[in-house]
Each structure stands twice: as structure tokens, then as C-alpha cells.
Chains A and B, each alone.
Chain A
Amino acid sequence: MDTLTGWGRLPEPGRELLDEDFETLTRGAVLSRGLGRSYGDSSLPANASDRIANSRCANRILAFDPGTGLLRAEAGLTLVDLVRLMLPRGWFPPVVPGTKFVTLGGMVASDVHGKNHHREGCFGAHVRALRVRLADDRIVECSRESDADLFDGVIGGMGLLGHILEVEFAMHRIPSPWIWMERERVSDIQAFLDSIATAAPQWPMTMGWIDCVKRGKGMGRGLLMAGRWATAEEAPAEHPGSPLEITMPVELPNWALNRTTTGLFNAGIFWGHIRNRTFGTMAPDRFFFPLDAILEWNRAYGPRGFTQYQCVVPRAAGPVAVREFMERLTALGAASPLCVIKDCGPEGRGVLSFPMEGTSIAVDMPVSADIQRVVNGLNEFIISVGGRVYLTKDRFTTAEHFRAMEPRLPQFQTLRAKWDPAGRLRSAQSRRLFGDKA
């Protein structure tokens, strides 16, 4: 039987259609997808017989104005392509997520955020116009001026209001194709939150990696990275060149990543940075997309698959809530080789966009018999502090928990009722979280 999977490698039955003519392909489709990089079931069919349109052959740049940086392209254009073409010309997308293997359509549907969220907001904040195929097969062009409710709903709307056909947004001018970066070793979670708060006003880009296997004193030790575009004087004369990429050669067995190995891995990264502070120029690929250097790294989790739990702890809940989250995480026994922390700026326009003012925490976890209990436990805590999870990463949140953490859900469902009254558009995720019929 044919199956489709997200990045977390848990399959759902179904198949996708592929064509350069994405506009025609989406006619009658109930969901569209791109590179399948959302971790959970956002891009998977609710029903095996659902018509799923894949955008990746529709990747044409339709217009680019070198005067203003305004770019319009088909939804399937990938960030890899865009960066490869535009970096040498002195342009970079305004917001990029942690991987470049995503399409523009996916970036809008997930309203992705990046290391510059505290300055620039989400990708959706830079989108000027969208061409969308609605559930009734009509095609509309929407923006902040025209059908603004649809525009705001599609941004971060997980593809549930319409198929994104074209995206128009403003690229940013950059002074050089290099990043100036500072990296600081931080001893525990409190120091971490202090440092990231101090760095935020000075640096346009910040993020941190923390060791969330370590318990007790030193819990939340890690590395804080801050960066900005290097000036022409600081930058090396040469172009950064293409990044070195290797492919994960084999699927590791399920037991390969466990508490002990991830603990060793984390300690290795922490102690690998001998000096407390390093700085210098860095290729943007290494700065923005460090994990992309290992293609298909998801195979490290073995055939069981994995999930990422990404949530935001609101600023109002205070740093103590972040500490409590870390304690809850270790108490639940979740071992994650990767725990990424980022401070988020204010909520954007997207009706269902993930970020809100606070601290975003992302942890990878292999799927085990225990996973539902772990996710439930974390969700109960997140609901109690008024936070929420990132749908693009989610596979295990229950409908009940989702309703409790998402006061914006009724507003989004009203939009769906208006733009898709027959309730045609759906995904495996909307079936699970919104109660859509299969």
C-alpha cells in the first residue's frame, strides 16, 4: 500500500499527485504539500483516498524586482533554491526556519519563524500577497487589503483554508554573504534565559541549544548563539560556497539513540566548546541550517520514527515556568539529543500562527510506547501556563488539549466555515485536532 510520511517518519496511507501545473492539480484536492518536512501529520491525508497535490514541481520564480526585493514565486519554490540563487546577488529571505528543505507554500502554511523572530516576526509578516485556490475551486488573490481575513487565516493555517499557489514577499538586502556570530557557553537554565534576554536587543538573530538530559545543578547548560550579517569589511573576500552535505548512510537501529548516548552526545557538544566565548564569521548555511549538513538525519531515530515537541512558554509565566518545563521534561524521562531555545517576539497576524511573546522550546523525542503519556504530561503543563504547541511539529496532542491551549480555535473555525463551507479541506492533523471527518 502507498503511504506518505512527514519528517518524523510515521506513515499514513495515501498518495500524492505531482505536476508542474500545480494550479490544475489542486482542483478538487483536499490538501497540498511540498517537501514533507513538517514533522507530524500536517501534510498527511485524513483519508487514504483523499486527493493530495504536491507542489514541488511548481517552483518557478515569476517576478523579482532588484530595486525593491519584491519576489513572487510558485508555492513549490524551495528555500534551498532561493538561497542558492539570491545569496550571491546580495539578497536573503526575511525569515528562514531551521532547515532549507522547505517550500514557500509550506513556509506560509506553517508561518515559520527563525532566529530573528524577536526582530522580524514570522515569515507571514513579510508576505504581501497570496494566490490561493479555495475549496470550491475558485482562485483568489488575497492580501492585507483584499480578503484580509482569508489572508490572515492562510498564514499559519496549515493548508486548511485553501491551496497556496503563489507567494509574493519582500527579500532583504544583505551587506555581505557572511554571518558575524558569537557563541557563548552558558552554565544553567537561569543564566541561559538571562543571556538570551541581554542578547536580544543587541543582536538581530539569537538562538540557543541546551542539554536537557543533564539534571540538577547544571540543568539547562548549553550554548547561546547570536548573529548578524557581517559588514562588507568584516566578511572574507570569497563567497561562502556550497555547504558540505553528507547523507545519513543507514537507518540506525531503534536503540541507538537512548538516554545514555544522547547524554554523551550532549556532554560532547558542551565540552567540545572549550572556550566560554567564540566569535567570527560563519557561512549562513552553517548558521541557519546546521542540521541540513546531514541529509536524511531523521534516519538516526530508526524505524520507530520520532516527533518533536515544540511549545512556547509565555513571557507572562516568567522564567520559573521555563525551569519547571525543563524539570517536567526530565521527570517524564524524555531524552532529547536536541533541545533548541529561542525567545519569541509578539504574536503575528496569522490567526493560528505558533509564536507568542515568550520562550520557545523544541525537543526531539523518539516514538516509544510511552510517547503519548510524555506529550500529555508536557501539554498539561503548557496549558497551565497559557502556552501552546507548534502544529508543524505535532503528532500526539489530543483534541481536548488542543482546544484548551488554543483560544483562537473558534475564530479559525469560523474562517473555515466561511471559506470552505462544505468542509472539504482537511489533513490527518485536522482530523485529529479539529475533529474533521475522515
Chain B
Amino acid sequence: MKAVVFGGTAGIGRAVAQRLAARGDSVFLLGRDEASLTRSAADLTARHPQQVRVQWALCDMESPSGFSVALDTADVALGNFDAAIVTAAMFATQAELEADVELTRRLTTVNFANTVTFCEHARKRLLTRGGGWLTVVSSVAGDRGRKPVAIYGASKAGVSTYLEALDHKFREAGLWVLCVKPGFVKTAMTANLKAPPFAGEPDGVARDIVLAMDRKRPLIYTPGIWRLVMLVIKHLPRFVMRKIGL
């Protein structure tokens, strides 16, 4: 695999980059912070001596005008990537979002409009070279309209729907679209939240993601138990959802 990892300097993205590098896949990092990219690339190179020097390019989910150039750089470095993995996204609590409309605009733009835009750039490239993997981290929060994640969840629901349609439309052309729905994962992003039962670790989530890519699966819940949890939540009647704080 020759993988571009957008968000590969932190959390789940970094864990995925580590897993891929460890088994000998080529990795290229995209992120918005130069110091963080330099450090993460050096780390991948030092940990996995069979890797040729891991390279990176600046790319900010808030600036879609840079997506194409960043992917060009990745193409040059990797010799045409065949996997694009997107873990970069924004998170804010419902209370923060309700208090700040501008934050709501930013988060929904980054998580939905800009993520889809990036995927479109990647998809076109992958299809012209006969296909490949497009893996995007969405969230279980998008599976049902819920009080604590009304806005964040909606932004992720949009991404999930888009990815499902991509899978339907382009699988025959060789594009393996994977929608990843993590439950609660213990990363810096969620450090301020109280961890619920079944909280996952980034490395376990990364293992599930890489396995699902190998198996060309269109959708995974990770940790796996969240498939059951969400199955129950999806079938709760509205009057129950209105009552409970889930």
C-alpha cells in the first residue's frame, strides 16, 4: 500500500500510520502543523528502519484550496498513492457549539463540506489509476440524531451517507471506500470527556481499520461492540430518545 494519511500526526491517524509503516507499507503524512509533521515523520522513520524516510506536506482541513497541491506532493513522493486515509476532523461538545454559532459553522464545514471536497480530489486520482482505498473516519455519532451530539453527529452523518453512496457507485471501478465509525476512543480529542464503557484505544482502532482495508470492507464499527450498541440506539422509538440523555 502507498498511503496518504491526512491527520497522521495525532490520535487514530497516527496509530494507523504506525501500523502501516510497521508492516512495510509506504506512508505520507498530511497535517496542518509543520513541527508536528516533522516529528511524526522522524518517529515513523526511526521506529521502522525498513522505511525509507517518511515524508509529509502541509494540508489544513480548513483550507480546501491547498488539497490538490498537497495530494500532488504525495503523488510525487510515493509514486502515485493508492490509499487515502482521512482522520483529520474537528470536535467540540454540544454545549460549546450551541454557545458559538461561528464554531458551528467551522465544524460543520470542516467535518462535512471540506472532508467531502478532499475525498473528491482523492477519489478522482484513485479512479484514474484503476482504483484503491479511500478510508474516512466518520463516527457512531452520525447514526442517530442524539441530544449530546446534535451538530457534530449531523456533520458525521453527512460524511457517512456520502461514503456509502461512493461505495455503491464506484466499487465496480475498483475503489474500496471504507467508512469507519469509531465509538468513544481515548485520544487527546476526547481527553476532557468522561470515558463511557467500551471506550477504545487508538492502536486497537487502527488495527481494526487496517484489517478492514485489507478485507475491502465498506463499513466498520470499532471497537466492534459499538455495532451492537448503535443497533439498539437506532431502533429506540422517538419518545424514548426525547426522554433520555443519550
Contact = CB atoms under 8 A, between A and B. Distances in A.
B9 A20 contact: yes
A311 to B, nearest CB: 37
Contacts of B46: 61-64
Nearest to A81: B47
Interface residues of B, number: 17
A407 B11 CA distance: 45
A63 to B, nearest CB: 6
B42 A20 contact: no
Contacts of B187: 57
A300 to B, nearest CB: 24
B39 A18 contact: no
B33 interface: yes
Interface residues of A, number: 16
A66 B46 CA distance: 10
Interface string B1-30: 000000001110010000000000000000
A62 B39 contact: yes
A36 to B, nearest CB: 14
Nearest to B186: A18
B49 A89 contact: yes
B115 interface: no
A60 B39 contact: yes
Interface in A1-60: 17-21, 23, 57, 60
Nearest to B11: A20
A81 B35 CA distance: 22
Nearest to A60: B43
Contact of A57 (B33, B43, B188): B188
B47 A74 contact: no
The 4 closest A-B pairs by CB, nearest first: A60-B43, A18-B191, A61-B46, A20-B10
A85 interface: yes
Nearest to A74: B39
Contacts of B10: 20, 57
Most chain B CB within a 10 A radius of its CB, from A21, A60, A63, A74: A60
Contacts of A63: 42, 46
Contacts of B138: none
Given A62-B42, A85-B47, A21 B36 contact: yes
Nearest to A15: B192
B36 A20 contact: yes
B43 A19 contact: no
Given A57-B188, A60-B43, 11 more contacts: A19-B188, A20-B9, A20-B36, A57-B10, A60-B39, A61-B43, A61-B46, A61-B47, A62-B39, A63-B46, A85-B47
B55 interface: no
B40 interface: yes
A136 B64 CA distance: 38
Contacts of B49: 66, 89
Interface string A51-89: 000000100111110100000001000000000010001
Interface string B177-199: 00000000001100100000000
A57 B43 CA distance: 13
Nearest to A84: B47
B36 A61 contact: no
A21 B33 contact: yes
A63 B44 CA distance: 10
Interface in A219-246: none
Interface class of chain B by DSSP: helix
B225 to A, nearest CB: 18
A121 B109 CA distance: 56
A213 to B, nearest CB: 39
Contacts of A66: 49
22 contacts: A18-B188, A20-B9, A20-B14, A20-B36, A20-B188, A21-B33, A23-B35, A57-B10, A57-B187, A57-B188, A60-B42, A60-B43, A61-B43, A61-B46, A61-B47, A62-B39, A62-B42, A62-B43, A63-B46, A66-B49, A74-B39, A89-B49
Nearest to B194: A2
Interface string B35-76: 110011011001101000000000000000000000000000
B88 to A, nearest CB: 13
A374 B54 CA distance: 56
A32 to B, nearest CB: 14
Interface string A100-139: 0000000000000000000000000000000000000000
A63 B45 CA distance: 9
Interface string B106-137: 00000000000000000000000000000000
Given A20-B10, A21-B33, A85-B47, A60 B191 contact: no
A242 to B, nearest CB: 14
Interface in A121-172: none
B42 A19 contact: no
Nearest to B9: A20
Contacts of A57: 10, 187-188
Nearest to A82: B47
A2 to B, nearest CB: 9
A17 B49 CA distance: 32
A269 B13 CA distance: 46
A61 B191 contact: no
Contacts of A74: 39
Most chain B CB within a 10 A radius of its CB, from A17, A20, A62, A85: A20
B56 to A, nearest CB: 13
A61 B188 contact: no
A314 B34 CA distance: 51
A19 B188 CA distance: 5
A20 B33 CA distance: 11
B223 to A, nearest CB: 16
A85 B191 CA distance: 27
A58 B47 CA distance: 15
B78 to A, nearest CB: 21
A74 B38 CA distance: 13
Contacts of B33: 21
